[in-house]
Amino acid sequence: MTTLHQEHDSHTHTHGPDCGHTRVQHGDHVDYAHDGHLHREHQGHWVECESGGHTAHAGHDHRHGEGCGHARVQHGDHVDYLHDGHRHAEHAGHWDDH
């Protein structure tokens, strides 16, 4: 999965362990959920952490939803569920791996 490099140039807030935003472990880095976006630090600035394509999470039988036990993160126009180091979003009858 490739990640797009979309610099968030108006982002003046510095994220960290005590900033109040949800930390999301995402591969080799940490994203912070903020205002419906997922931000990560990259070479001294903040970027939107968005995948560059569609990746279905094959074999994901668990149905996420209210009370499923996984943290919810607002991500644009949908909700991601944090599960086993991945962000899952429902899409066209399957779960995408963000």
Q: Which tens digit of pLDDT belongs to each residue from 49-94?
A: 766 666 777 777 778 888 888 888 887 788 888 877 677 888 788 8
Residues 6+ apart with CB under 8 A from 48: 4, 6, 8, 37, 38, 39
- Give the domain ranges of the chain: 3-97
Confidence of residue 6 (pLDDT cuts 50, 70, 90): low
Higher-scoring residue by pLDDT: 51, 42: 42
Residue 2 scores a pLDDT above 50:
no
Residue 3's pLDDT is: 47
The answer, yes or no, to whether residue 36 has pLDDT greater than 80, is no
Closest CA to 54 of 5, 7, 95, 8: 95
pTM here?
A: 0.61
